[in-house]
Amino acid sequence: MTPGRLFLACALLAPLACTTKASNNNYLPPTGAGGSGTTTPNGMVTVTITTPADGAMVSDSTDVSVTATVVDTGTDFIDTSSVKMTLAAMGSSAIISSGQLVSAGGDTYSGTLSIGNLPSGSYTLTVVGKSSTGVSGQSAATLVVQGGPTLIVSSPAENQAYNDLLTVQVLVDPGAPAPTAALAGMQITWPAPNPMQTPMYDVYRAQVWFGPPPTPAGAQTFPTLSGKQLLDVKETANGSTTEIQRDFIIDTAGPSITVTTPAPGAIVGGPVQISAQITDESGVLDSSVYAVIGDAQGDPVFTLQLLPEGGNLYGIQFDTLSLTQCPQPPAAGPCIVFPTISFRATDSVGNESSLGYDFFVDNIAPVSALDPPEMRQMKLTATGYQCSFQFDPLSVNRDIGDMPNDGCMVPQVFDLRARIEDQGNYPPKGLKIVPFVGIDPDNTAVYILTDNSQPLIVDSDGNGTCDTINPLLSPTMGPLTQSDQVLKIRLAGVTPGGNADFQPDTTVPTSDCGPGTDSAPPKLLCKIDGFEQPTIAIGYGGNLPAIWSVEPIDPDRCLGNQLDTRANNIPDGQWICIAVQSADLIGNKGVSAAMRVYVKYDENGPFCATPPPGAGPPPTCTGTYDPVSKTAAQGTCTTLSFPSGEIYCAPGDC
């Protein structure tokens, strides 16, 4: 039976498992195969501190706003999680305070550095950043601090995002009272400070857990928090109090993956854009965004790193011809019809997300024929299936001027029609609905060549299949005036209708269905000046037109108009080549087998008369085309074709 058309796509929305790491700072890298392999660094990272100015004077127990530009001069991109700042005493490598700089748009990063009650003096502010391939750069500036109790909040960083485990770290003077800290209005309990960590300060460190049970060992259990939070830390000594407030973000969800292409159930073919909108309040780690494409068994699998394109869009081109291709009709064999795609992304604090589903592939061109095999229509009755008499879907094959067969002699004017049906990827077994997109009416036409020294249809890629009209020919819509011209006539679809002949036919193979039981022949679709037309205009794929004809197509010409050879300057008394070229709506293009007819203006019958002895053999009409040398030569090539033998069209598709 003719394959059906896909009308309703059911996407397989089966998100893959998400992984959340149990630390609060470093991102969890993606797992699995990584696209094209190892990336070679090819640039340098330049860091410039824009504020504060070099030599700026600041007060103790304050938060200093820091901004910097971080630029990669090659084709890599900056790893946003790597842009950090530290403060150390001038000439010392011991870190006094540190923090994270977050993207403020473009190449600009900003953050807040906490400065406690430091001794007066000069200190070195350093900002570092790395590219996606590990190339680093840094810049330093001098801060002059004016003296006062010491309180430094080194974690969390201002406006930085953290996942469900947060480390709160505060530095005070040695021997000073323990600070107080409130997070979302709840007090943090400090373990004893570690005196071995740095001799200059007492370091108070606590871990706070916002996730589900069980709580990691040593962490304090807090209620589930999400979004922007406030940490309020105070240190009181010698009758004075220093207070630092720090805004930060709790983010326990992975990036949001939306507006993906191809969409679930979309039918695509050839090169296709793989893309997704990916957002996260903590920022998406650009190097973690991947799409994995493969069949249900994972073979083949393509791991594609999606590149940032601006506006939270990530994408890359992928050629679906890289998947296992289906054999060309009428052959059948292993191929991929419903590949799976999984989008994966990680945010800057290590939360992962994924989204997976099926999309559909159509890499098969439409099948067309000017002289198609005969077929039978089926219908279901109370006693089972009945089959009609065999019929030619293009002609009654009876009267002069009817649609001819290959090798016929034709009069000046004759019917010109084609059977054209779009095809989709079709594995050998199991597929219930074939996904295809339909015929493109703006790229469907019949071509007529009168110069028999040139091929009309050619193989342009060397695979033995005719795939295009000879590019050396010049299509024209009007009468032919030059030997290198080919007449191009647009075809239009004929609305399916009518019925085949279901009167009893003893030649019906009983293994498929029984003979019809109608007592009278079917009603004609139309009758033109006494000449009968077929009683059926077949369809396919849920009533799409399978018959395409020369316009106009109207009630008087229900199967289309005829070709006038004389009006188009097609010579009398010679062979001509006729073929159809058609494309589907995603650009898969194919040609029909060439039909050869001998034109005799005054030929008066019978239908499909034999050409005169002096006509010679029919022309080849086929050949090869070399796109490099831009030359064509006569030769042989095959075309996509409809199945032969006993052919049936199902109810609703015929």
- Strands annotated E in 362-499: 367-369, 376-381, 384-387, 409-410, 413-415, 417-421, 439-449, 457-459, 468-469, 474-476, 485-493, 497-498
Residue pLDDT, tens place only, 63-96: 899 999 999 988 888 999 999 999 999 988 889 9
Residue pLDDT, tens place only, 233-242: 998 887 778 8
Q: Residue 96 in contact with residue 172, Cβ under 8 Å?
A: no
Q: Which two tokens stand for residue 602?
A: 């005054």
Q: CA-based Rg of the chain, rounded to a whole angstrom?
A: 38
Average pLDDT value for residue range 484-502: 95
Average pLDDT value for residue range 361-376: 94
Helical segments of 127-242, H only: none
Going 610 to 615 to 621 to 623, the CA torsion angle's sign is positive
Instruction: Compute CA 1 distance to the chain's CA centroid, rounded to the nearest angstrom.
Output: 30
Average pLDDT value for residue range 419-436: 82
Place of tokens 């490598």: 93
Instruction: Compute CA 538 distance to the chain's CA centroid, rounded to the nearest angstrom.
Output: 34
Average pLDDT value for residue range 360-366: 91
Q: Decide: pTM greater than 0.75.
A: no
Instruction: Compute CA 212 distance to the chain's CA centroid, rounded to the nearest angstrom.
Output: 37
d(CA 269, CA 278): 25
Where does the pLDDT of residue 334 fall: very low under 50, low under 70, confident under 90, or very high at 90 and above?
confident
d(CA 408, CA 402): 11
Q: Residue 443 in contact with residue 589, Cβ under 8 Å?
A: yes
Q: Say if residue 17's pLDDT is above 50.
A: no
Q: Say if residue 197's pLDDT is above 80.
A: no
d(CA 453, CA 472): 13
Residues facing 597 on adjacent strands: 576
pLDDT at 32: 37
d(CA 576, CA 597): 6
Q: Say if residue 453's pLDDT is above 60.
A: yes
Q: Which two tokens stand for residue 244?
A: 């630092």
Q: Residue 306 in contact with residue 30, Cβ under 8 Å?
A: no
Average pLDDT value for residue range 24-36: 36
The full set of domain ranges for the chain reads 256-361, 367-425+436-649
Q: Which two tokens stand for residue 9?
A: 């796509």
pLDDT at 576: 97
Say if residue 350 is exposed, middle or buried (CB neighbours under 10 Å; 0-12, 13-18, 19+): buried
pLDDT at 5: 34
In the chain, the percentage of residues whose pLDDT exceeds 90 is 61
Rounded mean pLDDT of the chain? 87
Place of tokens 């392999």: 37
Where does the pLDDT of residue 11 fall: very low under 50, low under 70, confident under 90, or very high at 90 and above?
very low
CATH fold for domain 256-361: Immunoglobulin-like (2.60.40)
Q: Residue 233 in contact with residue 153, Cβ under 8 Å?
A: yes
Where does the pLDDT of residue 168 fall: very low under 50, low under 70, confident under 90, or very high at 90 and above?
very high
- The DSSP call for residue 131 is B
In the chain, the percentage of residues whose pLDDT exceeds 70 is 90
pLDDT at 653: 78
Q: Residue 54 in contact with residue 47, Cβ under 8 Å?
A: no
Q: Omega of the bond prior to 339 within 30 degrees of 0, cis?
A: no
Average pLDDT value for residue range 1-28: 32
